[in-house]
Amino acid sequence: MGEDIQKHSVHTLVFRSLKRTHDMFLSEEGSLPPLDQKAVSAWRSSKAKDTYGPIVELVRKQQEIAKKTGLPANYPGGQLALTNKSEQDGETSQALALMPSGTIGGHQMPQSSANVSAVGIPGYAAGGPTNNTQSLITRKAPTMPKPQWHPPWKLCRVISGHIGWVRCVAVDPTNEWFCTGSADRVIKIWDLASGRLKLSLTGHVSTVRALQVSPRHPYLFSAGEDRQVKCWDLEYNKVIRHYHGHLSAVYSMALHPTIDVLVTCGRDSTARVWDMRTKANIHTLTGHTNTVASVVCQAAEPQIITSSHDSTIRLWDLAAGRSMATLTNHKKSVRAVAMHPNLYMFASASPDNIKQWKCPEGKFIQNLSGHNAILNCLAINADNVMVSGADNGSLHFWDFKTGYNFQRSQAPVQPGSMDSEAGVFAMAFDHSGSRLITAEADKTIKIYKEDDEANEETHPINWKPDLLKRRRY
């Protein structure tokens, strides 16, 4: 009786077959058949004729007209840089072939760079530049512009008064006072110049998370984790309207700059558009799949921009009440969005990167890397200073146009607080752009201003651009 044949699985047999095939052709790997010189020459001739044929005809016609009229030709006579000697010898098969070697502007042109010869360039013949004024423009590598110098910012005032985390801040359009909302459920109004408390407003039953001051009405709007959105009349310091509709905590709000519309967003994954006067819920903007953390409004399209913990940013059509675009570049929660006050751009903050975008289509501009923390807030002033604040209390100051991080600072905690309470929850520039107000986890409000004694010599710009790193999605 013969020996039993060992049975193998299909996987083993296929693998063995692949290995035998690999071993068979291994010796020939990397060896390509020699190129046919006639085929290569014909290919180059065809390519040149297809690319530069119209230009050559134009040059010849212009030279003929110049000879007839006696006027100087823009394109000099003589042998064209495009043709080679074979055409002069009557070999039509090599007509319009790229010259194997030659000179342009006194520089030797190797055969490998023949396809970048000076074909049809005014002021150039086969031997180099002529008396014409035009010359070959060298193409420069892309460079990043040097950032604008900004003075460093320093802490000038610490305001205490809240007995809970300070979660939001808004500045009065007259630039005389600002208001803050806190986990102690109180809204406090402070004098901007002196830092003194002017007024306390009570009415929320949970943390106040968002504040906005109307530039056209004597109204203050507030929203909180109690799902309430309130309109305060500052002439009477009383609530005059409630906006009902949110199913969970409200985290952010924005006022439209030109029409009486209020937009709020929160943990119910929606943004709601309200008629300021009638309290009607005009639109419910749905599409996000997680908490909507931030919302901003502008007069131009897109009039509403939201960011969410689902890592996306959405641009909304206010008239139709639907999403115009969804930006999915971020890989982590986007907690903050800020509009530039002058440029038609906005920025978004996430733990992976700060990204800049161009309106209206939401075109990605650049990444700002380096603030490796959970970013809660962004603020931008008219001098192109952008500030990002993080959960660990760190502040990074950036030049908005170039993305240069010109200052990093750590907010000092209030005496008696733990270091773990160093967190920046919200920030806003005053309307002059010269003071930065931050709302923090140590229950204080801090005001920063530019250092008047600093100059470009004491704080020079250390600019080392990295194009590939900054332009990467």
Q: Tell whether 250 is covered by a domain.
A: yes
pLDDT of residue 67: 82
- What whole-number distance in Å separates Cα of residue 473 and Cα of residue 356? 11
The yes-or-no verdict on residue 358 having pLDDT over 60 is: yes
The yes-or-no verdict on residue 118 having pLDDT over 60 is: no
Taking only the tens place, the pLDDT of each residue in 369-385 is 999 999 999 999 999 99
The yes-or-no verdict on residue 105 having pLDDT over 80 is: no
pLDDT of residue 343: 93
Spatial contact of 98 and 84, defined as CB atoms under 8 Å apart: yes
Taking only the tens place, the pLDDT of each residue in 136-190 is 556 665 666 788 999 999 999 999 999 999 999 999 999 999 999 999 999 999 9
Query: Who wins on pLDDT, 105 or 59?
Result: 59
Query: Who wins on pLDDT, 297 or 421?
Result: 297
Q: What's the token pair of residue 197?
A: 């408390």
The yes-or-no verdict on residue 114 having pLDDT over 50 is: no
pLDDT of residue 74: 55
Query: Who wins on pLDDT, 214 or 126?
Result: 214
Query: Among residues of the chain, what percentage have pLDDT more than 90?
Result: 61
Coil vs helix vs strand at 153 = strand
Least confident of 31-35, 95-99, 105-109: 95-99
pLDDT of residue 142: 61
Spatial contact of 158 and 414, defined as CB atoms under 8 Å apart: yes
Best CA proximity match to 155, nearest among 460, 472, 424, 450 = 450
The yes-or-no verdict on residue 125 having pLDDT over 70 is: no
pLDDT of residue 334: 97
Phi and psi, residue 56, nearest 5°: -65, -45
Q: Tell whether 74 is covered by a domain.
A: no
pLDDT of residue 46: 86
Taking only the tens place, the pLDDT of each residue in 309-346 is 999 999 999 999 999 999 999 999 999 999 999 999 99
Spatial contact of 435 and 425, defined as CB atoms under 8 Å apart: no
Q: What's the token pair of residue 274?
A: 């309200």
Taking only the tens place, the pLDDT of each residue in 434-444 is 999 999 999 99
Q: What angle do CA 466, 467, 472 make, to 5 degrees?
A: 110
**Cα atoms in the 13 Å half-sphere on the side-chain side of 220:** 28
pLDDT of residue 19: 84
Spatial contact of 192 and 159, defined as CB atoms under 8 Å apart: no
Token look-up 């600019």 returns: 463
Q: Tell whether 29 is covered by a domain.
A: no
The yes-or-no verdict on residue 197 having pLDDT over 80 is: yes
The yes-or-no verdict on residue 350 having pLDDT over 90 is: yes
What is the average pLDDT across 405-426?
87
Query: Among residues of the chain, what percentage have pLDDT more than 70?
Result: 80
The yes-or-no verdict on residue 128 having pLDDT over 70 is: no
The yes-or-no verdict on residue 267 having pLDDT over 60 is: yes
Strands 186-191 and 197-202: antiparallel
Average pLDDT for the chain:
84
- Measured over the CA atoms of residue 179, residue 167, residue 187 and residue 252, the dihedral's sign is positive
Cβ atoms within 10 Å, residue 120: 16
Q: Which residues does 76 contact at the CB level (< 8 Å), separation at least 6?
A: 123, 124, 125, 130, 132
Least confident of 145-149, 297-301, 418-422: 418-422
Query: Who wins on pLDDT, 37 or 228?
Result: 228
Taking only the tens place, the pLDDT of each residue in 1-16 is 455 666 778 888 888 8
- What whole-number distance in Å separates Cα of residue 83 and Cα of residue 102? 11
Q: Which residues does 203 contact at the CB level (< 8 Å), separation at least 6?
A: 230, 239
Q: Tell whether 11 is covered by a domain.
A: no
pLDDT of residue 120: 43
pLDDT of residue 184: 96
The yes-or-no verdict on residue 214 having pLDDT over 70 is: yes
Token look-up 């009786």 returns: 1
- Tell me how many domains the chain contains: 1
What is the average pLDDT across 236-259?
96
Q: Tell whether 416 is covered by a domain.
A: yes
What is the average pLDDT across 219-226?
97
- What whole-number distance in Å separates Cα of residue 43 and Cα of residue 418? 75
Cβ atoms within 10 Å, residue 269: 19
- What whole-number distance in Å separates Cα of residue 312 and Cα of residue 18? 45
Q: Which residues does 118 contact at the CB level (< 8 Å), separation at least 6?
A: 81, 104, 105, 124, 136
Q: Tell whether 121 is covered by a domain.
A: no
Q: Tell whether 404 is covered by a domain.
A: yes
- What whole-number distance in Å separates Cα of residue 327 and Cα of residue 141? 30
Q: What's the pLDDT band for 407 if we cut at 50, 70, 90? A: very high
Q: Tell whether 100 is covered by a domain.
A: no
CATH of the domain at 315: 2.130.10.10
The yes-or-no verdict on residue 65 having pLDDT over 90 is: no
| Domain ranges, residue 382 | 153-450
